[in-house]
Structure 1
């Protein structure tokens, strides 16, 4: 069938979508939080990842339900707009936009920092430009190239993670750490583990899963969106969760004293150094740098397609935000905007604030999607599958809400300031809320 002008290409299969979600989360994600999270959980980060994976599966199921009903670009924005209310949909999209914008920004900062440490002759800002440039070119050329690039990079990262797990296991069997591979210690620490510790650890671990929802922004480029989007979201959650749990498990066995790291920020590199020497720690550093490309590609692409969906519904200037490259059929202007935001933010913003804001937007969006399932299916469509359309999304909403209200004060100040800006934008585009935002129908 001939590709129509103004439409995104349907080329992504289930495998591509699942890898896209895992790439956004990155298989190496425990490297970013291991030291601090181990201290919070008393050395039971593996259990925290189990809790987080279960929690995120509720929301992944909700994304699957909404993707089946509305297989269009826009993800959280589109689902809330159609499932509940067009105005609330705008706010959901405006909030989740922070998440999609800041994920590549965070990995640009991290990747450039590690690359600069490895090759200090090239300054930090130059590494930011290099990483951003590669990510932007890949996304401009199209999702097929992005999917192939992600497949390759995720495979390399996955191989390094497997090597890390094997090296740690060999070290343990050789007498290091616990001295045994069968232990409940990474899941339960007597005298430390309790409900509050599990909740706190689960909250930290949940942030490694932020990004699986990016799969749904590719609905109009999926070959079978109604069938594959939901399945891919669940597969990405489970696949990512298993990878995270295994890394946390073997690292805890290999290095039981989680209080003895020289730096909490580089704890897993110290574990890799101890278990596998300079080669393993070097490979792990290389994997972190690779993760900046996979998460950067997925994050930039998702934000660009969210803007495409909002532009098509005319809540953002339509002509500009829905422009597709005549050859590659990608929203090139949106991608270039994301590149500029990523570069400027990487050079000016504080990492801690960026992380908090990402959590603010992501969890707010998750709550909206869970609520959308209940409102649309259970109340509006009168579907009486209580488990699927009430209990599961209800649990997802409550869990995400609990994590959301536990964020810092500064994240709420900046986050609500961002929502206020969105309120002004929506007031202008809807002529003082007198006109509902338009809804695109396929």
Structure 2
């Protein structure tokens, strides 16, 4: 019954099934959790927080989690009502207008293209050199990152089932591993009298004067910069929505996977941050390390456990990049299915042999390799630029999605499977305040290169959009068979003969 219901729901949006619905509840959660990947985010950004805000900066984490949790609830409400692959692109196209939807889709595509490079680059530049004791030159870092990208693409292109198995295994290992590490750090540090509770309130080497300042028009204060820890890490939970057409009962499963992933990541991540900070020793000396988390683990638990931590981080980062690439290929395929992406005739195809959007996967990994090469050649601080763009872009996407929900919330059709009810208003207030505050972080001049990247890709997208409109007219951006959602928004019952409904010429994938 569920499969038939899912097919009927998909047909309301003008599409026929293109994938098998194999994604389970845990697999949906695992996709959202792997994208967030607290092991990846904390390992990567903890050192930056020590240098910008001191150990005291970890207290920004719970605030960021509450803000992102509110965003997850809002996005979950949209995902439940429009359970179609393409997530923000689909929601904006159908509830606002197709032009704005295309712009949001392109921004989402830009985010996914750069963040997969940023995540995989971390393995080659900061983790493997410590684990395998080699010097991370530019050439070696580029080569290893390129190989990792190709490996992820091969897995995604050949088998969705094995992609999910690998990810489920990695997420299980990350959950168990992070819990064990947190407990071991607290117990061993306490037993050896290595806990320093003063670290939790220490500013490290950051001066007291101006610490709590919001900064000026071109810079953020030290306290504000600490929020980048949570802003970079707690993102990507909406990736579960991009597998909506491969998930059983997505209206119910996908929203829950989102908020559960944020909550689990937030609670476990904060406990781990407290444990690491308590056992950090001298925070000023630790801030000079390129791998502060690994150093704390080694000093407290020994080299064997430190090595196991690095192996766990490698596995978590690989899974994170895998899910990012999976999400990117599905978005590319969804926009191509609607004939709204460059090369759509080829990229909308689903491989009859593998049951995956193989050509979209190939295109995506080639683009990722190009981005990797450009940053390696022209950026003196490629990793920070990548992280900056990967933090800025989702904030823009979330802000646009929440604004859309605000505009349409009173007319959205109810489905009884995931609704905010009386908590809608306070949830929206929290989400809006958090997103305004988060976007204010990026006025800092250190994000100049990240803004330039965003601007460059927006120009590329604008050129294509103008060309599409010039050659095919406004109808080129019409969505297939939108009568279902339009009718409910207009408070009338949808009928197949509704003269306002566009024809279903693009329904076949």
For residue 283 of structure 1, what is the aligned residue in structure 2? 308
Q: Secondary structure at the match of 1:410?
A: helix
Query: Is 1:186 the counterpart of 2:200 in the alignment?
Result: yes
Partner of 2:29: 18
What residue number does 1:141 align with?
Answer: 158
- Say whether the 8 Å CA contact 1:6–1:329 is kept in structure 2: no
1:320 aligns with 2:352: no
Task: State the Cα distance separating 1:400 from its structure 2 match.
Answer: 1.9
Contact 1:50-1:241 at 8 Å conserved across structures: yes
Deviations 1:126-155 (A, max 9, x none): 423432232112211333221110111222
* 1:139-218 matches, cutoff 5 A: 139-178=156-195, 186=200, 194=212, 196=214, 199-218=224-243
Looking at structure 2, the residues matched to 77 and 188 of structure 1 have their Cα atoms a distance apart, in angstroms, of 43
Could you state the TM-score of these two structures normalised by the residue count of structure 1?
A: 0.89
Which segment is superposed worse, 319-328 or 59-68? 319-328
**Distance change >3 Å, CA 145–CA 5, structure 1 → 2:** farther
Larger Rg over CA atoms? 2
Q: Structure 1 residue 337 and structure 2 residue 351: aligned?
A: no
- 1:359–1:404 CA contact under 8 A, matched in 2: no
Alpha-carbon distance in structure 2 between the residues aligned to 1:393 and 1:417: 32
1:107 corresponds to: 119
Quick check: 240-249 or 166-175, which moved more? Answer: 166-175
The alpha-carbon deviation at position 275 of structure 1 amounts to: 0.6
Q: Deviations over 1:29-76 (max 9, x none)?
A: 211111221343431344221111101011101111111110001111
Asked if 1:226 corresponds to 2:251, the answer is: yes
Q: Distance in 1 between matches of 2:252 and 2:198?
A: 38
* Alpha-carbon distance, 1:103 to partner: 2.1
CA distance in 2, matches of 1:129, 1:80: 33
Structure 1 vs Structure 2 CA RMSD? 3.0
Give the TM-score of the pair, scaled to structure 2: 0.78
SS at match of 1:173: helix
The answer to whether the 8 Å contact 1:315/1:438 transfers is no
The residue that corresponds to 2:291 in the other structure is 266
Specify which of 403, 426, 430 is matched with residue 438 of structure 2.
Answer: 403
How far residue 315 of structure 1 moved from its aligned partner, in angstroms, is: 1.2
Q: 1:104, CA displacement in angstroms?
A: 1.6
Residue 70 and residue 97 in structure 1: after superposition, are their counterparts in 2 closer, same or farther (change >3 A)?
same
Aligned residues of 2:35 and 2:239 also touching (Cα < 8 A): yes
Map 1:81-96; keep pairs closer than 5 Å: 81-96=93-108
1:347-386 matched pairs, under 5 angstroms = 347-349=373-375, 350-378=382-410
Asked if residue 62 in structure 1 is aligned to residue 51 in structure 2, the reply is: no
Q: Which residue pairs with 1:297 in the alignment?
A: 322
Show CA shifts across 1:264-309 (max 9, x none).
4311011011111111221122122212310111010101111111
CA contact (8 A) 1:371 1:393 kept: no
Distance in 2 separating the partners of 1:344 and 1:434? 32
Query: Is residue 33–residue 237 contact of structure 2 (8 Å, CA) maintained in 1?
Result: yes
Q: Is the 8 A contact 1:98 1:358 kept in 2?
A: no
Distance 1:379 1:264, change over 3 A: farther
- Contact kept? 1:312, 1:440, Cα under 8 Å: no
- Where structure 2 has 5 or more consecutive residues not aligned to the other structure, the ranges are 8-14, 215-221, 376-381, 482-506
1:36 equivalent in alignment to 2:56: no
2:477 to 412, 437, 441: 437
Instruction: Give yes or no for contact 2:280–2:286 (8 Å, CA) kept in 1.
Output: no
Structure 1: state its 5+ residue gaps: none
* Bigger Cα displacement from structure 2, 208-217 vs 252-261: 252-261
1:220, distance to aligned residue in structure 2 (A): 0.8
Equivalent residue, structure 2, for 1:393: 428
Quickly say closer, same or farther: Cα 1:223–1:348, change in 2 above 3 A: same
Post-superposition shift, 1:406? 2.6
Q: Secondary structure at 1:130's aligned position in 2?
A: helix
Residue 176 of structure 1 and its aligned partner are, at CA, apart by: 3.7
**Residues in 1 aligned to 2:201 and 2:353: alpha-carbon distance in whole angstroms:** 52
Deviations 1:408-431 (A, max 9, x none): 233223312322222221122223
